[in-house]
Structure 1
Amino acid sequence: MTTEPRVLSASEWDAWLGCPELAFGGVPIAPESRELYAALIEPRRALGHWDGADCVGTAGSYSFRLTVPGGAAVPAAGVTMVSVAATHRRQGLLTSMMRRQLDDVRSWGEPLAVLLASEPGIYGRFGYGAATTETNLRIDTSQVRLALPPGTDGVRVRRSSPVTALDACEAVYARLAEARPGTPVRRPGWERMAVSDPESARKGGSPLQCVLAERDGEVTGYATFHLRPAWDDAGPRGTVAVRDLAALDPASYAALWRFVFGIDLTSVVECRNRPVDDAVLRMVSDVRRCEVRQRDGLYVRLVELGRALEARTYRTPVDVVLEVEDTFCPWNAGRWRLTADSKGAAVCRRTDDEPELALSVSDLGAAYLGGVSLTTLAAAGLVRELRVGALAGAAPAFSSDVQPWCPHGF
């Protein structure tokens, strides 16, 4: 067996993909999904452990740009396809792949690595912190009404095929990505993921459907969804499974929600992965009938701490010395002085000054996008205040008006 992970060669793709396929339950990946993954994967960023001809460990990453507070799109490794064969667990394969991967990411000049964890307990030991929260909804539309803002009736909602509408939807996505931390700025080719529709992923629903919102002839929003018909003795009980719903203004947003609430023969709207501050939660008449559930979303790892902290802006002026613990990437460990002016522009440099706040790199990653408060982390004992008043000065600076969110998987 290989003692160190090595970069994937083109001829090894099928064997490499077979390892996560088996690790995640052994259900065959749909052919159209395999083709799309093959088109998006970057072989030089794909690592594998091999036992003879068998691939027994995998870890890949995409070269993303991630929106951070202030609107900058920062280079980030989007970690994906991490797996270890059940026959080769507890042999150090995962640790060796994470070690090689983060060293590579650093050498490529990417200050961040991000991932969506299959299990939340895995990645903290490698310095990742849960930085966003996603909201899942199951709304009883027979009982819940929407409060609509002025102008909603002036928005036209029309059907389109998802593929035909793709360019218009991507234009809306790109504009929204600039405003919300945690959103990947999609590279060419990634738009195909938004309309990938293997039958095996529909959970008994219809092929992917799409509607566009328009104002004055301009596309201002879109929704994609599956319909899952169902009936009982009392009549239709169908479900609208919303995949994406996004808009550039409140009226367009409301018009799209009104449409999905009103689809004939349905009484439930299901949404997976909505932002924690989703405006629809303030539009509904009865939030208790929306079955709101939250879970961890995007995990952030500061690969180059100084560059990462300088890449974002800060909500209030700040001058604080951080004592950072980072055993897995020791080049980040130690004291850093972070300063930001009234415009939010930051400088983060090594210092010998006395520390004022102490925390781990994973907890700094959790706070990085502004969705997790340093005050909350301190209340949990994860941030230690070493100078009285330091926390009160730093916590508002790290916060964000818009809650961070990663709207899609990778």
Structure 2
Amino acid sequence: MTREPRVLAPAEWDRWFDALALAFGGLPEPSEYRELMRTLTETERALAVWDDDTCVGTAGAYRFRVTVPGGELVPAAGVTLVSVAPTHRRRGVLTAMMRRQLDDVRSWGEPLALLTATEPTIYGRFGYGAATQQLAATIDTSRVALAVPEGTDDVRLREVPPAEQWVLDACEALYAAEVPLRPGMIARTPGWERTQVSDPEESRNGRSPLRCALAERDGDVVGFTLFRVRPRRSEGVSEGTVELEHLYASDPAAYASLWRFLFGIDLTTTLSVEGRPVDDPFQHLVLDVRRSRLRVRDALYVRLVEVGPALEARRYRTPVDVVLEVEDAFCPWNEGRWRLTGDTEGATCVRTADQADLALSARELGSAYLGGTSLAALAGAGRVRELRPGALARASAAFASDTAPWLPHGF
């Protein structure tokens, strides 16, 4: 075999996707999901490694734009569908794909690469850093009450079929309005809205079909939620679980009305929440946060493909003038000293021979880039070194974001 990845030909997609499914356990994907993935795959940006006629390595890169601190949408490669056949592990297949992919991303003029990691230990060696976290909760709705804001009772709620086009359009407009407000959110291109309402029966696993509730005021849609119900009875008592998948709203009253609706669904006693931003306001609606059983874990990983353009693309919470000594053996064009100067209006980041203020690797830059991981915290773990007294505190404050970065869905 050769470890050299090559661009995927459209006619090879089925074998390529079959290899991916095999590497992730071998369970067949529902036909509806498979066809959706076929539609979304950009084969000209996908890579495959072959051993004769057998596909033994897969990797893709969606053409995305991601919100960065300051609200700008920056081109980014959404790295996805990465796998290596169990028979070909530890032969350099993944490294070869990552090498080719990052070279390609650079040639496409995209300063960032993004991914969600099935195994978080894998991608640090390629310069990816954990940049966002996501919040989960298991709320005992039989014992936890809500304190809702004024105006909540003025919001009208109704259930609608989630996959109807007018519903998709209304929900997608609410999603799009939130994209520039929070770092880490991805501007969805046509077709991606279907991933949120894909509902193959084979994947329900005892849950209800996908349901959608709209929040309306004066005839306008001001919020929506997508959810499922998992029925359960124990000794004649109904103890079902509501599983929240998505919730967006344009104002606090609409937001609270949707949470109150989910809390009040008949024959349920638990609300299961996953994938929410760590500063989600529901934590301040519940009157007993302990019985909400909050949990946090890593979500989006970020890789600066081009340090200068990436750092210039975002804004900074406080004025910053710092020289960064960057280590990046995997993308050596990033190595060396960079002077970053910026504030809330803009930034420049250029090569310099000046003495460095902070030393860090591309992985730490990726973690701090969206403002959700502080440089000071990374320094506390020994992953950022302060070379000039006071530089760390100033840079850490500048990189911070007013809102927690959030990836609202996988890719």
Q: Deviations over 1:253-280 (max 9, x none)?
A: 0000000000000011111111111100
Residue 372 (1) aligns with residue 363 (2)? no
Structure 1 partner of 2:122:
122
Q: Deviations over 1:163-204 (max 9, x none)?
A: 121100000000011101001110111111111112233231
Cα RMSD (Å)? 0.8
Q: Secondary structure at the match of 1:63?
A: strand
Q: Secondary structure at the match of 1:206?
A: coil
Q: Secondary structure at the match of 1:167?
A: helix
**Structure 1-normalised TM-score?**
0.99
Structure 1 partner of 2:137:
137
Which amino acid is 1:383 matched to? V
Structure 2 partner of 1:54:
54
1: CA distance between counterparts of 2:395 and 2:410? 31
Verify the 8 A CA contact 1:297 1:406 in the aligned structure 2. Answer: yes
Q: Secondary structure at the match of 2:22?
A: helix
Verify the 8 A CA contact 1:316 1:344 in the aligned structure 2. Answer: no
Structure 2 partner of 1:153:
153
Structure 2 partner of 1:327:
329
1: CA distance between counterparts of 2:135 and 2:156? 28
Verify the 8 A CA contact 1:202 1:226 in the aligned structure 2. Answer: no
The alpha-carbon deviation at position 234 of structure 1 amounts to 5.0
Structure 2 partner of 1:45:
45
Structure 2 partner of 1:69:
69
Q: Deviations over 1:65-86 (max 9, x none)?
A: 0011011110000000000000
Q: Secondary structure at the match of 1:184?
A: coil
Verify the 8 A CA contact 1:182 1:404 in the aligned structure 2. Answer: yes
Q: Secondary structure at the match of 1:178?
A: helix
Q: Secondary structure at the match of 2:181?
A: coil
Q: Give structure 2 stretches of 5+ with no counterpart.
A: none
Superposed, which structure 2 residues align to 1:223-372 within 5 Å?
223-233=225-235, 235-341=237-343, 343-372=344-373
Query: Kindly, what percent of the aligned residue pairs are identical?
Result: 63
| Count of residues paired in the alignment | 409
Q: Secondary structure at the match of 1:378?
A: helix
Structure 2 partner of 1:409:
410
Verify the 8 A CA contact 2:231 2:241 in the aligned structure 1. Answer: yes
Structure 1 partner of 2:22:
22
Q: Greater CA deviation, 192-201 or 223-232?
A: 192-201
The alpha-carbon deviation at position 126 of structure 1 amounts to 0.2
Q: Secondary structure at the match of 2:205?
A: coil
1: CA distance between counterparts of 2:405 and 2:331? 25
Q: Deviations over 1:319-360 (max 9, x none)?
A: 00000000000000100000014x341000000000000001
**Structure 2-normalised TM-score?**
0.98
Q: Deviations over 1:275-318 (max 9, x none)?
A: 11110011111111112111100000000110000111000111
Which amino acid is 2:161 matched to? S
Q: Give structure 1 stretches of 5+ with no counterpart.
A: none
Verify the 8 A CA contact 1:367 1:398 in the aligned structure 2. Answer: yes
2: CA distance between counterparts of 1:218 and 1:210? 16
